[in-house]
Structure 1
Amino acid sequence: MYININDLSNKKNSSKEINVSLKPDMLFIGNSEIKTNKEIVFSGVTGRVDEMFYLDGKLSGELILMCSRCLEDFIYPIDIEIHEKFSAVPNDEDESVIFIDSDIINLTELIENNILMSLPIKKLCSEDCQGLCQSCGCNLNKKTCNCDNGNVDPRLEKLKELFFTE
């Protein structure tokens, strides 16, 4: 999805509203870690002040992420505020300004980047997620296993006495 800012280019101070619903098949194509099952909704305003274009708005919806501990999919709600600045003139002073060389802004790419930047590094289905058993691989949130996790390298066996003294 693209935004044409050509009509804003002719005026010094102008703006227009944008209300977009992006369908699940429009975002994160080819990304197996992030999926959407519902529409992602963006509503905002794009405008121009002197030589600077801006895009301000709110993004909301739900993502399907994979938990970093148990590898199960879970629903992750998003509610993100987007504030972007664009300029047709290269600007080395302000790194937050995005350089555009045409009258078109790729809204899909912009939304994907803002979503990726807002995600936590460690994606967890819940704070108390138990993860997977290191021996048998079962999901410890759903069942307990009978694996003996007390295996210690024989070379380090003597160190065990430091922690378990009576």
Structure 2
Amino acid sequence: MKWSIHQLSKYRKEGMPLDTNVQLDNLEIRNSDIRNVSPVHVKGLCTFGASQMTCQLTISATLTLPCARTWEDVEYPVNIETVEIFSWVDKEQRGDVFSDIHFIDGDVIDMKPVLEELILLEVPMQVFKENTEGQVQSGKNWSYSTDEEVELAKKVDEPKLDPRLAALAKYFDQTDK
């Protein structure tokens, strides 16, 4: 989704409608929790002023993320409605550096980095696959336990002595001679 500013001049009167699918494979590299990204559907309208382009966009995609309990794939839908402003004014005229405007250096507007940032902001900290509540999973040297199971195990199990320290326990049992 790259356009030169010169190409966009033909859309100055009616605006430029968008309805396209974009593949954003870079998301999987930027966030290791994302296992897969469906093609991102971008729909909207971009209007033009003297030195800026304003886009009202609806962005939708499906991310494949790991379940926080079972590590299985979970499909997480993302739907974003946003207004993004791209400006190509001179550096001297930019003013506030912390504004919500995407300043363009050169003659090409690239919307992919903006789409990537918007989707990355929507990635949740945890997702859970349906019907995994109470499922016990385990692996090599680890297991998943609920809080109740941990408390019960503390009451039932006696403190076990580390076999490496067994000789040291015998030392304290000796009486002084």
Tell me how far apart the structure 2 counterparts of residues 106 and 129 of structure 1 sit (CA, whole Å).
Answer: 43
Tell me how far apart the structure 2 counterparts of residues 93 and 107 of structure 1 sit (CA, whole Å).
Answer: 19
Larger Rg: 2
Structure 2 partner of 1:105: 109
- Residues 116-138 of structure 1 show CA distances to partners (whole Å, capped at 9, x for unaligned) of 11223x222259856867x9534
Residue correspondences, number: 147
Structure 2 partner of 1:64: 64
Confirm whether residue 137 of structure 1 aligns to residue 161 of structure 2.
Answer: no
SS at match of 2:154: coil
Structure 2 partner of 1:162: none
Q: How much has 1:47 moved relative to structure 2?
A: 2.2
Q: How much has 1:13 moved relative to structure 2?
A: 5.5
- Residues 123-163 of structure 1 show CA distances to partners (whole Å, capped at 9, x for unaligned) of 22259856867x9534569xxx8996528xx9xxxxxxxxx
TM-score for both structures, normalised by structure 1:
0.66
- Residues 83-128 of structure 1 show CA distances to partners (whole Å, capped at 9, x for unaligned) of 11121222317611111112322222111100011223x2222598
- Residues 26-77 of structure 1 show CA distances to partners (whole Å, capped at 9, x for unaligned) of 4425243213353221112222123322122111121101234543321001
Tell me how far apart the structure 1 counterparts of residues 47 and 137 of structure 2 sit (CA, whole Å).
Answer: 49
Q: What's the RMSD between the two structures over aligned residues?
A: 3.8
Structure 1 partner of 2:17: 17
CA contact (8 A) 2:74 2:129 kept: no
Cα 1:102–1:140 shift into 2, 3 Å: farther
Which structure 2 segments of 5+ residues have no match?
A: 160-177
Cα 1:11–1:18 shift into 2, 3 Å: closer
Which structure 1 segments of 5+ residues have no match?
A: 155-166
SS at match of 1:109: helix
TM-score for both structures, normalised by structure 2:
0.63
Structure 2 partner of 1:163: none
CA contact (8 A) 1:13 1:50 kept: no
Tell me the percent identity.
23
SS at match of 1:28: helix
Q: How much has 1:9 moved relative to structure 2?
A: 4.8
Structure 1 partner of 2:38: 38
SS at match of 2:7: helix
Q: How much has 1:6 moved relative to structure 2?
A: 2.3
